[in-house]
Amino acid sequence: MKMNDKILARVEINHDRMVKLVSDMVKIPSVSGNEKNLAVFLNEYCTKLGFSTEIDRHGNFFAFIKGKRAGKRLIFNSHLDTVEVGDGWDSDPFSGKIDGDKLWGRGSTDCKGAIGAQIIAAMSIVEAGLDFSGEICLMYPVEEEVQNVSRKGTYLALKDGFTGDMAINGEDTDLHVCLACEGMLEVLIITHGVGAHGATPQEGKNAIRMMCRVIDELEKIIPGVNKYTGSGAINPGIIQGGHRSSVVPDTCTLKCSRFTVPGETGELFVNQIKEIFARLKADDPAFKAEVEMTYESNPSIVDEKELIVSAIQNAHAIIGKDCPLMGTPQHDDADFLSNVGHIPTVLYGPGTGLLAHMPNEYLKISELDEAAKVYALTIMEALK
Ligand SMILES: [Zn+2]
């Protein structure tokens, strides 16, 4: 049997094991900050497969599978944690129930499906006795879902010196090969007015009205566009101001997010807001406002000529599927892998981002099968 047929046949033989693995992972709740039970489960699972494993000081799980020859390290990254369950579920969010082509539960799409497909892909290569160079590294960090870069497991591991030669960030990309992800920023804007009795508003300066003018100006900023991710976005998300309706409010705060495309930075956005302030102050000398960046993560991008890109393209050619090069509007750990670790990183995984973080999250098992095949073929293409 030809090598590629051998790989595909082996992944198919492992279908039931893969579905059970993902279902078992969904049954282990792992909301951010509580990933330990899942890390311990994976540690046992991968140790039994003969992989060498490690849980680092942050709680991140790693497994390593060495080839027979020296070579590059290919990292498969996904994440242990899920967002909280939230309301609106029709059944147990940790059931891991399988119903036709659907596997239900929190974390099925985001991102335990990718973990299952990656482990089974590596296991299938080993079981098929195939010779590859270098090393496959499975990296499943904690706290990918928290909005705080300094707690994110991938970032912390890279800061500790973890590295590799290329990576696949297994996020729920609808099986699209994505060469870029968007970054996410959050700014806090505060307008300062002057309080007065609401019956004599001319005696004060209304901070909410000032913020309305700021928002009107924010709407005029045209977000950047990238050929993979499409357009970035600006979203005024939380606004607060005033204490009672009969009083002129003296402060108003706005939290506004911005989704950035490759080439855009937080500094750019803050400068654009400061220009808005200057314009509004030129119009009205009493205008007073400040801006502070409260969260900053960056977009990722990988060059089309990188080995990891051609490897995953070749994997698609082998299964006879088109491989348009796309991008994702989500922010993912590809940011840290490429910007902190300087590791060329492609995003690719089963599941749809539309179901992530929502009630009644599910994963299509047919997508899981395809992802495992693509991951396994990519290993052999990248680590020839
Ligand atoms: Zn995810």
pLDDT in tens, the chain (384 residues): 799 999 999 999 999 999 999 999 999 999 999 999 999 999 999 999 999 999 999 999 999 999 999 999 999 999 999 999 999 999 999 999 999 999 999 999 999 999 999 999 999 999 999 999 999 999 999 999 999 999 999 999 999 999 999 999 999 999 999 999 999 999 999 999 999 999 999 999 999 999 999 999 999 999 999 999 999 999 999 999 999 999 999 999 999 999 999 999 999 999 999 999 999 999 999 999 999 999 999 999 999 999 999 999 999 999 999 999 999 999 999 999 999 999 999 999 999 988 889 999 999 999 999 999 999 999 999 999
What is the distance in A from the centroid of ligand 1 to the CA of 365?
17
Residue 272 burial (10 A CB sphere; 0-12, 13-18, 19+): middle
What is the distance in A from the centroid of ligand 1 to the CA of 60?
15
User: What order of strands is seen across the sheet that includes strand 289-296?
Assistant: 233-241, 251-260, 183-192, 289-296
Contact 208, 250 (CB under 8 A): no
What is the distance in A from the centroid of ligand 1 to the CA of 78?
7
What is the distance in A from the centroid of ligand 1 to the CA of 114?
9
Domains with residue ranges and CATH for the chain = 3-181+299-382 (3.40.630.10), 183-296 (3.30.70.360)
Task: Count H helices and E strands in the chain, helices first.
Answer: 10, 20
H or E element that contains 99: strand 98-99
Give which of 250, 244, 254 is closest to 218, Cα–Cα.
Answer: 254
* Model confidence, pTM: 0.94
What is the distance in A from the centroid of ligand 1 to the CA of 170?
8
What is the distance in A from the centroid of ligand 1 to the CA of 26?
14
C-alpha dist (Å) from residue 291 to 148, 214, 223, 247, 270: 19, 11, 19, 25, 7
What is the distance in A from the centroid of ligand 1 to the CA of 111?
5
What is the distance in A from the centroid of ligand 1 to the CA of 25?
14
